[in-house]
Structure 1
Amino acid sequence: MNGLEDAWYHRRSWLILLTPLSALFRLLVLLRRKAYQWGLLTSTALDVPVIVVGNITVGGTGKTPLIVWLYHFLIEQGFKPGIISRGYKGKASQWPQQVRADSDPYVVGDESVMLARQTGAPIAVGPNRVDTAQALLEYHDCDLIISDDGLQHYAMQRDIEIAVIDGVRRLWNGRCLPAGPLREPQERLQEVDIVVANGLAGVREFAMKTSINTACRLDQPDQCQALTAFGAQPLHVVAGIGQPQRFFQALEKKGLSIDVHAFPDHHAFVREELAFDDDQPILMTAKDAVKCSRLGLECAWFVPLQVEPDPRFGERVLNLLKRV
């Protein structure tokens, strides 16, 4: 955790100094949403159903692997979904951008390339959700759109809202930014259609289990082995994600001997940062792999994350789609 996250999680007393700023942030968020509800700001409806998968906290909650699972689930049900995303940290000169498995993550964002590699889905990214969705529909025959994040992007109307929360940290101290991690007041969860908890679930929530079991070579992704095959040899583990400790702890629970190296979320890796001057293998997340695959690293592996939501989650999504 960084200093502010530590303060949120442990409810440090000095956060009370930020209360006025949080009250102002909360007011502005509520006024902005009311402006859309009252028609003062324009909200656009698309020609196909829209499922938004997001969260109300800053940082990682496991939203992206749930989107991968949801995409494959909807394909199995006969839908033709496409995915839109912000393309966060992407440096494209113009938007929207279509994303493929071989797209440059520094142009379109690392998470969107990871989604393309893990789903093969039609994907478009851009800061304007409506323009991005319309561009996707123009180039692809999709009958449904999954929006990666976007609970707070009210300019695009949605038919189903799914909020993903951390089953351990929950809503941290329950306060809005900057005195807490909330992008919106916690009452917002009462308005979404589905709440998925990454870990332990509360009342009216769907639990989502995550697991890591294999590692795949960075230079040959089709060559994978069980994590247990590394045995007791020491490993370098790097992570540039929202909650790197969760990744580190999961590997430790597998009995691996790891030297951890945490980087900021969406970090732009360079080869020198990963030159550890020893023969220890390097493990990393699938999101980091899309940026590191071009660095020419030797003996580097990425660890895919599998998720298993409560079986009732899929049923709930289908029932909601029937009402659209």
Structure 2
Amino acid sequence: MWWQRAWYSPGVHPLLWLLLPLHWLFVLVSCTRRLLYRWGWLPRHKVSAPVIVIGNITVGGSGKTPVTEALVGWLREHGWRPGIVARGYGGRGPFPQIVTDSSDPRRCGDEPLLLVRRCKVPVVVAPDRVDAARTLLAEFPKVNIILCDDGLQHYRLQRDIELVVVDGNRGLGNGWRMPLGPLREPEKRLQQADLVVQNGPSDKHQFGSVFTLQPLGWRRVMDDEPVAKLPVGRVVAVAGIGHPPRFFATLEQSGLRLDATREFPDHYPFSAADFDQLPGHDIVVMTEKDAAKCRSFARPDWYYLPVSAEFNEGFWQQFQLALAAHTK
């Protein structure tokens, strides 16, 4: 947690300068790897359906999963039959793995389980996205377009459209590459993408089309039932996502008073014991991604808040033009 707070603070924290040799090593390795793919010395693999990659150039959550869900919805409305591939971060496998509503998040990862439940389209996970894409098309032959969630730096899978998501609140942090800063790739990489979108408005910067995350209404974790209104009581909010403060701010902006908050690392494997250590409370609230990992041991007073990514019509026009240009 300290690490990411330091990355997204102005300047470089003095302690981070100790990592300068590792920074230059990371830059050398990542730039060399990309050049090897660009020059064809490392092979890229094309599959039989168009591929849209959704990713970011920073470490930490930026809103890729809601964006993927929004793209799936638009594609289905316009006659496409999309499928999703993902790494399955945090999952133990085996890989490649077809994700279903009843999949264990400890095996497939939390975000793929969320995507299959929300999008209702085929989802396959594997660290090797080429294997995932080939399995998806073999097992679901009706799929005619693939969305690769968090696959921007996985150059082995040839892509037709790149969409990069930037956090409007944190931007690109201190502007340094890892481990001095949060950047996986330099800022100029944004100019090479087909589309850039920003999660939330900002007075400091704007990277492409701005979208907002809209709450969809409370649900109970244990059985996914909608709840019109949370009961009265002391509320503790927990979040094991890339940027927990964004979730806590969303809750407070909706009028919910938080008596305490607890941050966990992204993709944290929650257990019932984690909640035994929370301060005194009547209600626990969490993200939809975290709820997927807590359902098997959830208590009746635990709730989650799903959100959706809302784009303006201008973005969808840009997306449609990019899609037409790359899928002729």
- With the shorter chain as reference, the TM-score category is over 0.9
Q: What residue is the counterpart of 2:191 in the other structure?
A: 190
Q: What residue is the counterpart of 2:143 in the other structure?
A: 142
Task: Name stretches of at least 5 consecutive residues in structure 1 with no aligned partner.
Answer: none
Q: Secondary structure at the match of 1:323?
A: helix
Q: What residue is the counterpart of 1:208 in the other structure?
A: 211
> Offset of 1:113 from its aligned partner?
0.3
CA separation in 2, counterparts of 1:203 and 1:166? 10
Q: What residue is the counterpart of 2:168 in the other structure?
A: 167
- Give the 5 Å matches for 1:157-306: 157-200=158-201, 202=205, 205-226=208-229, 229-230=230-231, 233-258=233-258, 259-275=260-276, 276=278, 280-306=282-308
Q: What residue is the counterpart of 2:109 in the other structure?
A: 109
What TM-score comes out, normalization by structure 1 length?
0.94
> Offset of 1:256 from its aligned partner?
1.7
Q: Secondary structure at the match of 1:207?
A: strand
Q: What residue is the counterpart of 1:320 in the other structure?
A: 322
CA separation in 2, counterparts of 1:144 and 1:158? 11
CA separation in 2, counterparts of 1:279 and 1:18? 41
Q: What residue is the counterpart of 1:7 in the other structure?
A: 6
- Give the 5 Å matches for 1:91-130: 91-92=92-93, 94-130=94-130
Q: Call closer, same or farther: CA 1:213–1:117 in 2, change over 3 Å.
A: closer
CA separation in 1, counterparts of 2:60 and 2:269? 17
Residue identity opposite 1:239 in structure 2: A
Superposition misfits of 4+ residues, deviation over 4 angstroms: 201-204, 276-279
Q: Secondary structure at the match of 1:151?
A: coil
- Give the 5 Å matches for 1:58-69: 58-69=59-70
Q: Secondary structure at the match of 1:182?
A: coil
> Share of identical aligned residues, percent?
40
> Offset of 1:279 from its aligned partner?
5.9
1:72-129 deviation digits (Å, cap 9, x = unpaired): 111001000000000011112x310000111110011111001111111100000111
> Offset of 1:213 from its aligned partner?
5.0
CA separation in 1, counterparts of 2:106 and 2:113? 10
1:49 corresponds to 2:50? yes
- Give the 5 Å matches for 1:78-89: 78-89=79-90
CA separation in 2, counterparts of 1:279 and 1:174? 39
User: Given that residues 211 and 311 in structure 2 are in contact (C-alpha distance below 8 angstroms), is that contact kept between their aligned partners in structure 1?
Assistant: yes
> Offset of 1:23 from its aligned partner?
2.3
Q: Secondary structure at the match of 2:286?
A: strand
Q: Call closer, same or farther: CA 1:277–1:38 in 2, change over 3 Å.
A: closer
User: Given that residues 286 and 305 in structure 2 are in contact (C-alpha distance below 8 angstroms), is that contact kept between their aligned partners in structure 1?
Assistant: yes
Count of matched residue positions in the alignment of Structure 1 and Structure 2: 319
What TM-score comes out, normalization by structure 2 length?
0.93
User: Given that residues 99 and 123 in structure 2 are in contact (C-alpha distance below 8 angstroms), is that contact kept between their aligned partners in structure 1?
Assistant: yes
> Offset of 1:56 from its aligned partner?
0.5
CA separation in 1, counterparts of 2:175 and 2:198? 16
Q: Call closer, same or farther: CA 1:32–1:277 in 2, change over 3 Å.
A: closer
Q: Secondary structure at the match of 1:183?
A: coil
CA separation in 2, counterparts of 1:204 and 1:254? 26
> Offset of 1:230 from its aligned partner?
4.4
User: Given that residues 234 and 256 in structure 1 are in contact (C-alpha distance below 8 angstroms), is that contact kept between their aligned partners in structure 2?
Assistant: no
User: Given that residues 166 and 207 in structure 2 are in contact (C-alpha distance below 8 angstroms), is that contact kept between their aligned partners in structure 1?
Assistant: no
